[in-house]
């Protein structure tokens, strides 16, 4: 089966780290490169976290550092969830892996321009790097096969009642991406909140008993603790890996085409993904919005992903 070529743009971040784990050794995915952005933590933290994850997993995937702040608004981070390092919990050996010298935005532009239009851009953090690439080199837009993002919500947010973190952290970047005209799959809180990593799930993944499973357990020990502290949930919603699970097995989620617009103008609802679920506006759909997920099938994909590490 032909592998899906992707660039994974992320802000590790505990759930980003699991997304990297699922993508890096999947027989279905060709992970061309990891580009890192400020989001859950500062760029200095997220880029180091990405290197620690690929080094721990022993995967030969280049890592590129990108934008250290949003396009226009002030930077926000999520240390309450991911800790001061952005990946609190796991203890990694001395970091020897190095970043690629090329800026992530330049890498995205160069790689997409040289491609046959067969690369999927997966974003699991603020969309700054991709939006900056589109603005710097508009010729890449038609080269993007599809944008698959973790972000947004057609119901409630997780930073404000209206907005989800990846979108509100750089709503202007999301606006650039959602008005690009490229096919979009939006995987929002509406479905990621249905895959809560309960203790029995952590125990199940721990029984895989390899490097990837040990990383998963150590990541979830912190992630689930802070999610309980902040949101009161017994298990942390495993947001970002749903993007990769969808690429491995598209039937794991149900999507509905909707006209989706990013609110960059209002104050109260700034950063909201306004998804026209019922078609009130009679406008063309701009995104395939995830409206449901088969949680059992998702956890099977996660376990299989961990087992790809021997």
Under rule CB under 6 A, residue 182 binds ligand RIB = no
Choose the binding region for Ca ion from 13-21, 23-31, 276-284, 289-297 (rule: CB under 5 A). 13-21
| Partner interacting with residue 276 (select from Ca ion, ligand RIB, none; CB below 5-8 Å by kind) | none
CB of 16 to ligand RIB, least distance (A): 5
Pairing mode, strands 287-293 and 253-258 = antiparallel
- How far is the C-alpha of 165 from the C-alpha of 77, rounded, in Å? 9
For ligand RIB, the closer CB: 109 or 157? 157
* C-alpha pair distances (Å), 38 with each of 2, 45, 67, 68, 178: 32, 8, 6, 5, 20
Q: Which residues contact 271 (CB under 8 A, 6 or more apart)?
A: 157, 159, 160, 162, 163, 164, 167, 168, 169, 171, 174, 262, 263, 264
Under rule CB under 5 A, residue 86 binds Ca ion = no
Under rule CB under 5 A, residue 16 binds Ca ion = yes
218 is a catalytic site residue = no
List residues bridging with 120 in a β-sheet.
6, 146
Under rule CB under 6 A, residue 170 binds ligand RIB = no
Residues in 219-248 that interact with ligand RIB by CB under 6 A: 239-240
Query: What stretches of the chain show up as alpha helix (H) in DSSP?
Result: 14-24, 43-57, 79-82, 104-114, 128-136, 165-168, 171-178, 189-192, 199-206, 211-231, 241-248, 295-307
Under rule CB under 5 A, residue 13 binds Ca ion = yes
Under rule CB under 6 A, residue 39 binds ligand RIB = yes
Residues in 128-147 that interact with ligand RIB by CB under 6 A: none
Choose the binding region for ligand RIB from 159-167, 248-256, 265-273, 280-288 (rule: CB under 6 A). 159-167
Q: Which residues contact 129 (CB under 8 A, 6 or more apart)?
A: 9, 35, 37, 66, 67, 104, 105, 108, 123
* Chain mean position to CA 239: 7
Residue 145 CA neighbour count, 13 Å, CB half: 14
| Partner interacting with residue 165 (select from Ca ion, ligand RIB, none; CB below 5-8 Å by kind) | ligand RIB
Selected from 4, 6, 7, 11, the binder of ligand RIB by CB under 6 A is: 11
10 phi and psi angles, rounded to 5 deg:
-150, 170
Catalytic residue among 11, 15, 172, 263: 11
Selected from 49, 158, 260, 273, the binder of ligand RIB by CB under 6 A is: 158
CB of 124 to ligand RIB, least distance (A): 5
For ligand RIB, the closer CB: 35 or 124? 124
Q: In the block, which residue shows the tokens 């061309």?
A: 32
Residues in contact with Ca ion by the rule CB under 5 A = 11, 13, 16, 124-125, 240
- Judged by the rule CB under 6 A, the positions of this chain that interact with ligand RIB are 11, 13, 15-16, 39-40, 78, 124-125, 150, 158, 164-166, 239-240
Residues serving a catalytic function are: 11
């Amino acid at each position: 089966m032909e592998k899906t070529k992707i660039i994974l743009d992320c802000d590790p971040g505990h759930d980003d780290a699991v997304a990297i784990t699922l993508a890096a050794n999947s027989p279905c995915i060709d992970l061309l490169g990891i580009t890192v952005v400020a989001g859950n933590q500062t760029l200095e933290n997220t880029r180091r976290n990405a290197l620690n994850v690929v080094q721990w997993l022993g995967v030969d995937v280049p890592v590129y550092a990108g934008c250290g702040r949003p396009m226009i608004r002030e930077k926000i981070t999520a240390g309450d969830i991911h800790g001061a390092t952005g990946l609190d919990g796991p203890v990694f050996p001395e970091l020897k892996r190095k970043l690629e010298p090329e800026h992530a935005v330049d890498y995205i532009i160069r790689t997409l321009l040289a491609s046959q239009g067969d690369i999927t851009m997966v974003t699991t953090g603020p969309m700054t790097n991709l939006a900056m690439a589109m603005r710097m080199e508009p010729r890449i837009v038609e080269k993007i096969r599809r944008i698959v993002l973790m972000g947004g919500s057609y119901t409630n947010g997780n930073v404000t009642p209206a907005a989800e973190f990846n979108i509100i952290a750089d709503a202007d970047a999301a606006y650039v991406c959602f008005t690009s005209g490229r096919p979009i799959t939006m995987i929002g809180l509406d479905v990621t909140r249905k895959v809560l990593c309960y203790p029995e799930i952590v125990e199940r993944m721990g029984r895989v008993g390899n490097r990837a499973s040990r990383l998963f357990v150590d990541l979830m020990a912190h992630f689930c603790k802070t999610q309980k502290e902040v949101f009161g949930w017994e298990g942390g919603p495993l947001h970002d890996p749903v993007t990769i699970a969808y690429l491995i097995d598209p039937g794991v989620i149900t999507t509905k085409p909707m006209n989706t617009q990013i609110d960059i103008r209002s104050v109260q609802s700034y950063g909201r993904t306004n998804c026209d679920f019922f078609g009130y506006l009679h406008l063309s759909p701009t995104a395939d919005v995830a409206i449901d997920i088969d949680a059992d099938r998702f956890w099977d994909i996660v376990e299989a992903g961990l087992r790809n590490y021997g």
